[in-house]
Amino acid sequence: KAGVTQTPRYLIKTRGQQVTLSCSPISGHRSVSWYQQTPGQGLQFLFEYFSETQRNKGNFPGRFSGRQFSNSRSEMNVSTLELGDSALYLCASSLDGSLEIDEQFFGPGTRLTVL
């Protein structure tokens, strides 16, 4: 099986712009989670989508949004970019998300740099 893929791998934007990141989960996986990884904050949960619905949400401002399509692919959007948004954005997929032990597979990440 192909792993979780994310595009683009690297992105450079300027403050005020917006960006859309894409994540394709492992085939058959219906849950996609997004994380922001920064050196100072580690990995922080952004949100999780399951069956095209946002099921869980972390403590991020409304500038961060996402969606999931019927094929489980997910996109994350960040509007009005700030310098502090520079980070590695990871998505992770899992089969269902409601099992007792649901292994989560992460993608390679998109490194976003905001100038």
Partner 1 sequence: GENVEQHPSTLSVQEGDSAVIKCTYSDSASNYFPWYKQELGKRPQLIIDIRSNVGEKKDQRIAVTLNKTAKHFSLHITETQPEDSAVYFCAAITGNQFYFGTGTSLTVIP
Give the interface with partner 1 as residue ranges (CB under 8 A).
31, 33, 39, 42-45, 48, 56, 88, 90, 97-104, 106, 108-109
Closer Cβ to partner 1, 45 or 60, answer by number? 45
For the range 95-101, what are the long-range contacts, defined as Cβ-Cβ under 8 Å and sequence gap of 24 or more? 95/28, 95/29, 95/30, 95/31, 96/30, 96/31, 96/50, 97/30, 97/31, 97/48, 97/50, 97/55
Spatial neighbors of 10 by CB under 8 A, at least 6 apart, are 110, 111, 113
Closer Cβ to partner 1, 80 or 105, answer by number? 105
Closer Cβ to partner 1, 4 or 81, answer by number? 4
Q: Tell the smallest beta-carbon distance from residue 11 to partner 1 (Å).
A: 14
Q: Tell the smallest beta-carbon distance from residue 64 to partner 1 (Å).
A: 17
Closest C-alpha to 88, from 4, 2, 9: 9
Q: Tell the smallest beta-carbon distance from residue 92 to partner 1 (Å).
A: 8
Closer Cβ to partner 1, 52 or 102, answer by number? 102
